[in-house]
Amino acid sequence: MEKIRKTLSGFMCLALILLLIQIPVGSAAPITITVNGIVLECDTPPFIENGTVMVPLKSIFEALGAVIKWDGAANAVIIKSKGLELILEPLNINHE
């Protein structure tokens, strides 16, 4: 029981420390993407928007060996890798 209490106390202290740490977004170091130990050089660099990190999926999927195609008729991106197919379509959101 004492071991559990010490473990929980340690987690609580760690959580408190993490809550108190503030990282200034404006002065953050550039974001890098690493795939299989190799840092990717992307045409469009990753960036932070409203607290969310935006990354170029095309560069990541190509680094993983996937084939990416644009289907203009369907307005969709088709990604194929190892017998799998992923279709990305824009969301239809009505702002009524």
Spell out the per-residue pLDDT of the chain, length 96, in tens: 565 555 545 555 455 455 555 455 555 678 888 888 889 888 888 888 888 888 988 888 999 999 999 999 989 999 999 999 999 888 776 655
Can you give the pLDDT at residue 16? 46
Can you give the pLDDT at residue 50? 87
Angle at 90 between CA 89 and CA 95, to 5 degrees: 150
d(CA 76, CA 48): 24
d(CA 4, CA 11): 11
Work out whether strand 84-88 and strand 76-81 pair parallel, antiparallel, or are unpaired: antiparallel
Q: Measuring CA to CA, how many Å separate 71 from each of 19, 82, 84?
A: 45, 20, 17
Does pTM surpass 0.95?
no
Can you give the pLDDT at residue 70? 93
Can you give the pLDDT at residue 12? 56
Residue 60 identity (one-letter amino acid): I
